[in-house]
């Protein structure tokens, strides 16, 4: 037995049994660093990326503290997006599947309030949701946070970026002062330092550097001017022809303009940015996940929390001003042992950001000439079509 084995932790036996049945033997770095502190009851600031195993870290700590026979909200997890909240809730249910009647409820914007209020009236042990919707329920008096034992702020930096700071503060004020608070963040800017000082009590701190298997990711840089970006993206897509590609832009304006340009060229492309209605966002993600859209153009905030297991290529249409964000973008490809391709466009005005990437990686980036599209080359078309079938008033489909 090693100190990185789950069996070395003083977790509830039912949780250890379930971990064994799931094939979870060894902890990831963030789990090994944070779980002992969480189980001690410490407040915690953890700097870790999506995909590091942080959900299991706070999830196991939360489930360990629950009293299943006390049917009240004992744990609250705040997430920046509905997609991340759904993923977190799903993982919590997996971790709790052998425990007795643990109810996990998701409360997010973009869904009707009525069914959520009814679910709250039936009770839950853990609530996972977005700050805006939780604050709405507080305002209506439909949720009581007075029984919270643990509060988790997941991807706190993105929640702050999206303007949720005041909502979070209002939610925290409705929780008991003696709660345990865990803050997980990919970065640690001044706003997060302010949040930790306001919401946490003498927190322990852990940090896990982004880990990606760069040996399986081919990273190529291309010099462009601003007005060449759309044409450069077309050339790269036609040359490499990925079955699924995630394109990152620094602004939603660039997202919209690029998608429009790609669609005019005949590409199967959709945009993902912060102003989309939840229904549009859900449909876009569904089409991309089902391979009925080959190219997804997104901002970093909108793409946060997306779990895409098989991604052939990432294209950085703009260079990120944050080096860690660049590394996180690139790390979305080449997962699960697959080879990945990361293509980066850089204008002369972005050279300073490229230099920072080189310093971070401790090696120079590799520059390449843009490929010349072959005559008659066809735009990428999605291999699948997604059909949305609605069952009508009674949820029935008749032949």
> How far apart are the C-alpha atoms of 32 and 27, rounded to whole Å?
6
What percent of the residues of the chain are helix, what percent strand, and what percent coil, each to the nearest 5? 40, 15, 45
Contact 329, 259 (CB under 8 A): no
| CATH of 6-207 among 3.40.50.10800, 1.10.3720.10, 3.40.50.300, 1.10.40.50 | 3.40.50.300
pTM above 0.95, yes or no: no
Positions of CATH 3.40.50.300 in the chain: 6-207, 214-361
> How far apart are the C-alpha atoms of 172 and 296, rounded to whole Å?
35
| CATH of 214-361 among 3.40.50.300, 1.10.3720.10, 3.40.50.2300, 2.40.50.140 | 3.40.50.300
DSSP letter (8 states) at residue 214? G
Residue 130: helix, strand or coil by DSSP? coil
- pLDDT tens digits in sequence order for the chain, 399 residues long: 345 889 899 898 999 999 988 888 888 889 999 999 999 999 999 987 666 788 999 999 999 999 999 999 999 999 998 888 998 999 999 999 988 789 999 999 988 999 999 999 999 999 999 999 999 999 999 999 999 999 999 999 889 888 899 999 999 999 999 999 999 988 777 888 888 899 999 999 998 865 555 567 899 999 999 999 999 999 999 999 988 899 999 998 999 999 999 999 999 999 988 777 777 878 888 888 787 888 999 988 777 656 666 688 999 999 998 887 888 788 888 765 678 899 999 999 999 999 999 988 888 999 999 998 665 555 555 555 554 544 444 444 444
CA distances from 159 to 79, 132, 185, 302 (A): 7, 10, 10, 11
- In DSSP notation, 334-397 reads S-TT--EEEEEEE-GGGHHHHHHHHHHHTS---B-PPPPPPTTPPPP--S--------TTTT--
Which residues sit opposite 272 in a β-bridge?
298
């Amino acid at each position: 037995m090693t100190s990185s084995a789950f069996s070395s932790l003083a977790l509830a036996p039912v949780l250890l049994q379930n971990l064994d049945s799931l094939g979870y033997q060894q902890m990831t770095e963030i789990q090994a660093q944070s779980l002992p502190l969480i189980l001690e009851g410490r407040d915690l600031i953890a700097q870790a990326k999506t995909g590091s195993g942080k959900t299991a870290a706070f999830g196991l700590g939360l489930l360990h503290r629950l009293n299943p026979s006390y049917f009240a909200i004992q744990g609250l997890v705040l997430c920046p997006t509905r997609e991340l909240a759904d993923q977190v809730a799903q993982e919590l249910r997996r971790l709790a599947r052998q425990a007795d009647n643990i109810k996990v409820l998701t409360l997010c914007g973009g869904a009707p309030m009525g069914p959520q209020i009814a679910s709250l009236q039936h009770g839950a042990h853990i609530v996972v949701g977005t700050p805006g919707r939780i604050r709405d329920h507080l305002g209506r008096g439909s949720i009581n946070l007075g029984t919270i034992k643990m509060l988790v702020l997941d991807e706190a930096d993105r929640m702050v970026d999206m303007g949720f700071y005041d909502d979070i503060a209002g939610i925290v004020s409705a929780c008991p002062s003696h709660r345990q608070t865990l803050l997980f963040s990919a970065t640690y800017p001044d706003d997060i330092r302010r949040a930790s000082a306001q919401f946490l009590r003498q927190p322990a701190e852990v940090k896990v550097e982004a880990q990606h298997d760069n040996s399986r990711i081919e990273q190529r840089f291309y010099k462009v001017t601003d007005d060449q970006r759309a044409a450069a993206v077309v050339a790269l897509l036609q040359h490499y022809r990925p079955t699924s590609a995630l394109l990152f832009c620094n602004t939603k304006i660039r997202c919209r303009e690029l998608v429009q340009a790609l669609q005019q060229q005949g590409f199967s492309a959709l945009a993902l940015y912060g102003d989309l209605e939840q229904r549009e966002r859900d449909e876009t993600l569904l089409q991309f996940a089902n391979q009925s859209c080959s190219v997804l153009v997104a901002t970093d905030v909108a793409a946060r929390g997306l779990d895409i297991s098989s991604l052939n290529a990432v294209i950085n249409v703009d260079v990120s001003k944050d080096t860690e964000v660049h590394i996180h973008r690139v790390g979305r490809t080449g997962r699960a042992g697959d080879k990945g391709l990361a293509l980066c466009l850089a204008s002369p005005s972005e050279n300073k950001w490229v230099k920072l990437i080189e310093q971070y990686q401790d090696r120079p980036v590799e520059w390449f000439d843009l490929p010349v599209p072959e005559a008659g080359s066809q735009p990428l078309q999605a291999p699948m079509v997604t059909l949305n079938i609605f069952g009508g008033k009674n949820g029935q489909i008749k032949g």
